[in-house]
């Protein structure tokens, strides 16, 4: 059964290039004949890119999805998020320690030139990276949680989003509609988001 949703957590989807504003970007990135495309004077529709077409993002989300059961099964989503925030705060404190206390005792030599790098900053930076990974587990799991079977990492984008553009006095109204399906129970979700692209921004 297909459901329509306006879940605000999906509203920050990547928005594609504007066809009305710059035709050259259209012809460069959207050249296959399989895509639904309509262009008129004040209105256009075309297919954008799926969220999983970014290779780096795919690798990152696959890593997060593999790591997620270890944290969620032990702490749950809420406590996992709290753990991530706590580690991030601790990491920021370690990174700030040399600046706040002007303590040069905790340092390591990077090379023979005598360049020094604070050990506390290195440790703090590592904690921040770990915190980002843990926070991503909770955020991505919640973002993709199926509303029917309640499983995290359930919804996957099943086809290219439909993008509609309408020219108005304020700029270009761009509406993006994305299509998701749960990999566990098959529940489908349609999510739409809008934004206005001001004409002055097209000239940048």
pLDDT of residue 113: 46
pTM of the model: 0.64
Q: Could you tell me the pLDDT band of residue 76, with boundaries at 50, 70 and 90?
A: confident
Q: Which of 4-18, 68-82, 113-127 has the lowest mean pLDDT?
A: 4-18
Tens-place pLDDT, residues 182-200? 999 999 999 999 988 887 7
**Distances in whole angstroms, Cα of residue 99 to Cα of each of 60, 87, 92:** 32, 20, 11
């Amino acid at each position: 059964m297909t459901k329509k949703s306006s879940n605000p957590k999906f509203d920050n989807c990547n928005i594609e290039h504007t066809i009305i504003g710059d035709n050259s970007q259209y012809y460069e990135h959207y050249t296959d004949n399989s895509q639904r495309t309509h262009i008129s004077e004040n209105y256009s529709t075309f297919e954008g890119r799926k969220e999983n077409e970014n290779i780096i993002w795919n690798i990152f989300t696959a890593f997060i999805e593999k790591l997620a059961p270890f944290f969620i099964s032990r702490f749950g989503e809420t406590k996992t998020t709290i753990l991530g925030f706590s580690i991030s705060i601790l990491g920021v404190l370690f990174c700030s320690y040399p600046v706040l206390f002007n303590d040069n005792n905790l340092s390591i030599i990077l090379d023979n030139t005598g360049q020094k790098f604070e050990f506390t900053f290195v440790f703090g930076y590592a904690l921040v990276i770990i915190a980002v990974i843990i926070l991503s587990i909770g955020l991505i799991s919640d973002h993709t949680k199926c509303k029917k079977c309640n499983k995290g990492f359930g919804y996957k984008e099943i086809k290219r989003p439909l993008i509609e553009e309408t020219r108005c006095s304020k700029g270009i109204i761009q509406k993006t509609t994305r299509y998701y399906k749960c990999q566990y129970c098959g529940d489908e979700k349609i999510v739409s988001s809008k934004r206005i692209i001001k004409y002055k921004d097209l000239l940048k």
